[in-house]
Amino acid sequence: MKKLILILLCIIMIGSAAACGNTDGVRNTVNGNMKTYYEMNDGTWKCENYTYQYRLEIKGRMPNAAVDTTFVYLSNLEEIPFERAYLAAGVSSHTDDYFQPEDAVLVEMK
């Protein structure tokens, strides 16, 4: 009976994975506190139909803050300065401070 239940569970899990579709090439799924994203087998990162070359952890202290903040961005830009990271995280009222989705996306804030 236990073997039958185990086999049925395996079939359900395989069917669920096939139904999701975009699991080809996924090494790891990360449930960030802002967005879910994927580490791919080829070393790239995916989020919301965009592929990024880098996963950047950008740490610093915002003005008047008591503690440091870390922003995790998936990016096609090799570097993002801390000031740009926190402005693009929703602090700025200027649209020029935000990233285009093909350039970078904020997936975690710590």
Q: pLDDT tens across 35-49, in order?
A: 999 999 999 999 999
CA distances, 20 to each of 8, 15, 30 (Å) = 19, 9, 16
How does 58-78 read in b/e, with b if 16+ C-beta sit within 10 Å? beeebeeeeeebebbbbbbee
pTM above 0.85, yes or no: no
* Average confidence (pLDDT) over 59-75: 96
**Binning pLDDT at 50, 70 and 90, where does residue 94 land?**
very high
pLDDT for position 87: 96
In this predicted structure, what is the pLDDT of residue 24? Answer: 77
- Which structure tokens are listed for 41? 């087998």
Structure tokens at 15: 């069917």
Is residue 5 scored above 60 in pLDDT? no
Q: What is the CA radius of gyration of the chain?
A: 18
Summarize pLDDT for 68-82 with one digit per residue, the tens: 999 999 999 999 999
Which residues face 104 on adjacent strands?
75
Cα separation of 20 and 69, whole Å?
34
Q: Give the integer Cα–Cα distance in Å for 15 and 24.
A: 14
Angle at CA 42, nearest 5°, toward 86 and 29? 60
User: Does 60 score more than 70 pLDDT?
Assistant: yes
